[in-house]
Amino acid sequence: MLDTLTGRRGEIDADRVRAAVAAVADPEIGRPLGELGMLGEVTCGRRGRVRVAVSLTTRDCPVTEQLRAAVTEAASAVDGVRGVEVVLSVMGVRQRAELAQQLKATTTPVTGALGSSTRVYAVASGKGGVGKSTVTANVAAELARSGQRVGVLDADVWGYSMPQLFGVRRSPVSFGELMLPVPAHGVSLMSVGFFVDDGQPVVWRGPMLHKAIQQFLSDTHWGELDVLLIDLPPGTGDVTLTLLELLPDAALLAVTTPQPAAHEVAGRVVRMAREAGMPIAGVVENMTAAVCRCCGQDTPVFGEGGGARLAAQAEAPLLGQVPLDAELRAAGDQGTPVVVAAPAAASAQELCRVAATLPAPRRSLAGRALPLSVV
């Protein structure tokens, strides 16, 4: 029989176990279990055995085993603990409602505005098929690996690809109108692909698109992000215009291939951003050369110079020239960013360089209200 102990000599200090487990962050919400009210009774018994009760947010919680492992590790680190039993239950209706209110009260729409610590980048291209989503996914994964808190909003409503690139196929956990982003490889994800069946087309027009993007930004508990990357659809359509309205402080990251057909149409997105007063963070040239798997020789299949020409037009830095190699293709098919799956690959190394040199947005303050505080 287990007895709750208070730290008698030679026995486990239950308060220390509770404190250790209370500090464990929920993998989806990103906040401590103790703060979220998810930690229940902690009891200690003979021979170093402890039992920890944890309440899951939903019955089919997708991070159950990850959470169990984190709780076990935290409790096992306490002196005297020799074994840990994690007892899982599901939050009741009232507890879920209280948690929803708590999260809603601390959920601030991501804007990247002055005074915000979140850097927002809209990743755009003039045409499809240039690897914009692949660049977005890998830059996000590398930023997360460097210790930053990163979110990706898949705003390419008709051609969503983040579920495939990150290898996740499930609906987000929701608390009423509040949604939790789906975690994968250290990145918080939100995509319309999480709400539709595989292969189902999304047939939406302007008003529905605007509402969906607005909800993804304001009704998602992103937490305190360092970086939010937004994967835009190709071109200068409704979604891009909506994002310009909702995120006036975002910076543009333009992706192109070396060939004229790609960088010329990408130039239109750059011009649109300039007319809207959006800063250009930089240009990434993708598929710079195909790398032979046998001999390692580079072949510029799509020509040369498109990224440099677009960067000159945008008056922005050329942040990287990403080669097309077998590792990059395989990683996308397998649902793991190449910077995680094959970090030694040439494509991965260049994408890591892009992430490391991504400049912070610099937007003009002319004619804008500044956030002031009274001391």
Domain that holds residue 151: 119-357
- Helix or strand or coil: residue 330? helix
90 and 144, same domain (yes or no)? no
Report pTM: 0.84
58 and 171, same domain (yes or no)? no
Confidence of residue 234 (pLDDT cuts 50, 70, 90): confident
Q: How many domains does the chain have?
A: 2
- Residue 374 belongs to some domain of the structure: no
Q: Report pLDDT digits (tens) over 45-63.
A: 888 999 999 999 888 888 8
257 and 150, same domain (yes or no)? yes
Confidence of residue 98 (pLDDT cuts 50, 70, 90): confident
Q: Are 284 and 253 in contact (CB under 8 A)?
A: yes
- Give the CATH number of the domain where residue 80 resides: 3.30.300.130
Cα(357)–Cα(135) distance, integer angstroms: 14
Dihedral over Cα of 134, 138, 141, 143: its sign: negative
The sheet carrying 39-44 orders its strands as 39-44, 49-56, 83-90
Beta-carbon contacts of residue 374 (< 8 Å; ≥ 6 apart): none
24 and 136, same domain (yes or no)? no
257 and 310, same domain (yes or no)? yes
pLDDT score of 2 more than 50? no
259's tokens? 């060939």
125 and 96, same domain (yes or no)? no
147 and 214, same domain (yes or no)? yes
First CA to last CA across the chain, in angstroms? Answer: 57
70 and 142, same domain (yes or no)? no
Q: Report pLDDT digits (tens) over 141-174.
A: 999 999 999 999 998 877 889 999 999 988 888 8
Q: What are phi and psi of 42, to 5 degrees?
A: -115, 120
26 and 59, same domain (yes or no)? yes
Beta-carbon contacts of residue 294 (< 8 Å; ≥ 6 apart): none
pLDDT score of 200 more than 80? no
- Residue 366 belongs to some domain of the structure: no
Select from 105, 137, 158 the last residue of a domain. 105
- Residue 230 belongs to some domain of the structure: yes
Alpha carbon of 223 to those of 173, 180, 255, 361: distances in Å?
15, 9, 28, 20
Confidence of residue 110 (pLDDT cuts 50, 70, 90): low
